[in-house]
Amino acid sequence: MKRVAELIIITIAALCAVSCSGSFKDIKVTSCQLVEIVPRGLSAFDATMDLVVDNPAPQVTLSEMVALVKMDQLPCLHLAADELTIEPRSENAYTVFFHGHLDENFNPFTLLLLLKQENMDSLTMDISFRGSLKSGLGKHFEYNDIPIKDLLDKK
């Protein structure tokens, strides 16, 4: 009987995890604006970004947010963001704090040249984070090789 109860609990937990992933897909960033970049030495920085998020789903907490920006498939920038709790069934503004550093094998002058260019076809991003519902159930998400120009077009 104990084994059956464990199987039922595992099945319910799996169904909840699968169902909450559908909720995460409904969340949309409707606007984003880079507010501030503060250099921390020669290769590190802190940044602040304002986001407006439309969340038709229950409350979601995003944690363990990390990203890797790549230029021509070579790592150039590592980013990490602080935990963010998105309020349920609302469209609210949030401030997100990022911490970043240049990859040790990346030439920082290349980044300066890139910032002057209009064409960002060579930039892609790998993103991973954990999305958790208020109950604590959650799932780890990972997206690889997202073209940065696609992210910028959605602003």
pLDDT at 143 exceeding the cut of 60: yes
Q: What is the mean pLDDT of residues 73-77?
A: 89
- Does position 153 have pLDDT exceeding 80, yes or no? no
The per-residue pLDDT for 85 is 92
- Average pLDDT of span 118-126: 78
Considering the entire predicted model, what is its pTM? 0.73
Can you give the residue ranges of every domain in the chain?
Answer: 2-153
Higher pLDDT, 114 or 57: 57
User: 91-111, pLDDT tens digit by residue?
Assistant: 999 998 989 898 988 887 776
Confidence (pLDDT) at 15: 43
Nearest to 31 by CA among 47, 51, 49: 51
Has residue 122 got a pLDDT over 60?
yes
Q: What is the dihedral of CA 119, 36, 111, 76, to 10 degrees?
A: -100
Q: Look up residue 121 and give its two tokens.
A: 């076809």
Q: Determine what percent of the chain is predicted with pLDDT higher than 90.
A: 14
2-153, CATH topology level? Immunoglobulin-like (2.60.40)
| pLDDT of 5 higher than 90 | no
- pLDDT band at 75; cut points 50, 70, 90: very high
pLDDT, residue 30, reads 82
How confident is the model at residue 18, as a pLDDT? 45
Q: What is the radius of gyration, based on Cα positions, of the chain?
A: 18
Confidence at residue 93, expressed as pLDDT on a 0 to 100 scale:
94
Q: Is the pLDDT of residue 25 over 90?
A: no
Count the helix, strand and coil residues of the chain and give each as a percent rounded to the nearest 5: 25, 55, 20
